[in-house]
């Protein structure tokens, strides 16, 4: 059985500035493009049999620059919909909501393009992704190219944890992680590995 190769897209202007970037499609910065290109050697060693990416430009471009051919896009790999917190930093949110923490307090509704999601809704999307890719692991490794929070939730769900436990898995831009099994039980085999 193959492993899941988890790739967080490279840096964007908003990720650099720590702004919540859910459904707004921000391009990679020059540094983000460098991060993606630097993933080529690690991915050449892993050689995924299938590549599934978020529809976002930042994920698609990361895959391309990392030397991957995207076999399919999956809308369930879009980042958490931050609703009314789209484009805002945690520090700015805490000015009006002292002690606010995404994993505990969630988001407020936004406009029609950013209605917002609960962590449980993100967890259901992650479950659907895992349901679709698990059979593909019989053919080899599967790479998922997406976003920080959705991949953290997906990792928690891979391990059989509540979606809120994604808070335990910090994930930097332009990194590779792998999820596999040990004695037929799901495990993290590597995490948040920067390019060599």
Active site members: 9, 79
Neighbouring residues of 84: CB distance < 8 A, sequence distance ≥ 6:
107, 108, 109, 110, 114, 116
Contact 133, 157 (CB under 8 A): no
Distance, in Å, from the CA atom of 121 to the CA atom of 82, rounded to the nearest integer, reads 12
Neighbouring residues of 87: CB distance < 8 A, sequence distance ≥ 6:
14, 19, 20, 21, 24
Under DSSP, the state recorded for 70 is P
């Amino acid at each position: 059985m193959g492993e899941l190769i988890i790739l967080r897209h490279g840096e964007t202007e908003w990720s650099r500035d720590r702004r919540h970037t859910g459904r707004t499609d921000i391009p990679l910065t020059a540094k983000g493009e460098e991060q993606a290109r630097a993933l080529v050697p690690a991915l050449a060693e892993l050689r995924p049999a299938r590549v599934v990416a978020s529809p976002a430009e930042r994920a698609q471009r990361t895959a391309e620059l990392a030397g991957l051919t995207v076999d399919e896009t999956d809308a369930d790999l879009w980042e958490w919909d931050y609703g009314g917190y789209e484009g805002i930093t945690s520090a700015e949110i805490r000015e009006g909501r002292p002690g606010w923490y995404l994993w505990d307090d969630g988001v407020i509704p936004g406009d029609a393009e950013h209605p917002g999601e609960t962590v449980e809704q993100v967890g259901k999307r992650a479950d659907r992704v895992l349901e679709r890719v698990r059979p593909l692991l019989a053919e080899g490794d599967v790479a998922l190219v997406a976003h920080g929070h959705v991949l953290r939730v997906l990792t928690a769900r891979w391990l059989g944890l509540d979606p809120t436990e994604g808070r335990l898995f910090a994930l930097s831009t332009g990194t590779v992680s792998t999820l596999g099994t040990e004695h037929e039980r799901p495990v993290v085999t590597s995490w948040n590995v920067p390019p060599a």
